[in-house]
Amino acid sequence: MLKSFYKNMNEENIKYLSHEEFVNEYKNGNLRLLINKRLEHALYSPFLDRFEVLAYVFWDYISIALVFIVPIILLFLKKSWIYILGSFFMGIIIYKTNRKSLEDCVLENMLRKEKFWGEMLLAGIILAKDNTNNKILPPQELSQKILNEILSKNKNK
């Protein structure tokens, strides 16, 4: 499966970097990271800490409660509309902040953990490009190792 993925890639536009090279290039400002809108899929990674996932889910539910549930309760209690609007806007602010926090968490883990970095690039959640617009991917051996570990962790569940 992975061999066909690498065979179908246009070799002219791909640059294979190890994790250490990626970190150095990123810190030197030679890479651009494009974050996919399906960033929440990173939460399913076996390489992400459980506490980071729980924190994101907790604040996500708090924001949903502040946007929907609390205003309905305040409406039935006939509280002032200012409390309802305040709850609604607080929920939206928490949601946006939580989303930004997830982006920072994924980036930090990509720089710290080699397997998480490879998984995010291979899954297409993060697209890394260098200054000459080459797509960055991990070497095939590392990709195969990461894929095998993900599959073995999923079998154990």
**pLDDT score, position 5:** 46
What digits encode the pLDDT tens for the residues 37-78?
888 899 998 889 999 999 999 999 999 999 999 999 999 998
**pLDDT score, position 147:** 84
pTM (two decimals) = 0.81
15 or 153, higher pLDDT = 15
151 or 107, higher pLDDT = 107
**pLDDT score, position 9:** 53
> Taking 70 as the threshold, does the pLDDT of residue 129 lie above it?
yes
Laid out side by side, the sheet with 31-35 consists of 14-16, 135-137, 126-130, 31-35
**pLDDT score, position 148:** 85
Give the pLDDT mean for 98-123. 93
Determine which helix (DSSP H) or strand (DSSP E) holds 126, and give its type and residue range: strand 126-130
* C-alpha angle 8-141-157 in degrees, rounded to nearest 5: 95
> Taking 70 as the threshold, does the pLDDT of residue 36 lie above it?
yes
Tell me the range of 5-9, 14-18, 55-59, 138-142 where mean pLDDT is highest. 55-59
Spatial CA neighbour of 103 closest among 22, 25, 38, 18: 38
> Taking 80 as the threshold, does the pLDDT of residue 7 lie above it?
no
In sequence order, what DSSP letters do the residues of 8-68 get, joined into one string? TS-GGGEEE--HHHHHHHHHTT-EEEEE-TTGGGGGG-TTS-HHHHHHHHHHHHHHHIIII
At residue 94 the predicted structure's pLDDT band, cuts being 50, 70 and 90, is very high
**pLDDT score, position 2:** 47
